[in-house]
Structure 1
């Protein structure tokens, strides 16, 4: 396992949409709302949505499974980038990439995120832990 690199948030990013999740059953609605939001804020929808949908689902699943509720998902824009920021309220665990887990064994959310996003990081506030992923948009 290796720790995901800590990095400061995007200070100039504007929040375009946000969602609060309390259960895995809400992930389907998150994906539908994310597609609608992406269609509103960019011209390149299909490929971008596919990548962002996987990342949003993986990060939100990690937060729901390993964090403390509620899980907060934000779609933000900074310049030419769309940013997914997923927060939970467990300050006692750090996001880690499991590089040794075989395919099919689960637990590959952060690896997939690093594959589909152009940049990935995390940070903490006084009350929340955030994992973010940046995409061209």
Structure 2
């Protein structure tokens, strides 16, 4: 269907917390820690933000699962922020592959992570360094 837009996250984003995963079993602990981090770093619970933690956790799970399944370990999940956004960055060490939005059918068991990220986040992009490939998604931080 196509490639994901190539774009680094906003340069003013400050790193809040980082997790390193080597196995899918570690994902549960990362989700719990990520939820705590969102609350610690100023996500004000309001009418417009009720779903933000859930959306961030859902996208983190999908992108991390993809990285663990298709990338090269370790997978690095980083939570960053700007004044008005949370940024979720998921990196792996397979710089030879490009994230692609593939056609999926309702009966496919996977392949929805990038579509999900695009549909529920404010923005999604990807970039590579010499050693890592990053996929990021942004979410509202303030109402």
Q: Same fold (TM over 0.5)?
A: yes
Secondary structure of 1:31's match? Answer: helix
The aligned residue for residue 97 of structure 2 is 93
State the shift of 1:8 in Å.
2.4
How many pairs were matched up?
Answer: 136
TM-score by length of 2: 0.91
1:51 matched to 2:52? The reply is no
Runs of 4+ off more than 4 Å: none
Unaligned runs of 5+ in 2: none
State the shift of 1:9 in Å.
2.6
How many Å separate the matches in 1 of 2:107 and 2:35?
27
How many Å separate the matches in 1 of 2:7 and 2:30?
25
State the shift of 1:46 in Å.
4.1
State the shift of 1:126 in Å.
1.2
Which moved further from structure 2: 37-46 or 54-63? 37-46
Unaligned runs of 5+ in 1: none
Within-5 A mapping of 1:27-66: 27-41=27-41, 42-44=43-45, 46-66=50-70
Q: CA RMSD in A?
A: 1.1
TM-score by length of 1: 0.95
Cα deviation, 1:37-89, whole Å, max 9, x if unaligned, reads 01112113641111001100001011101110000000000120000000000
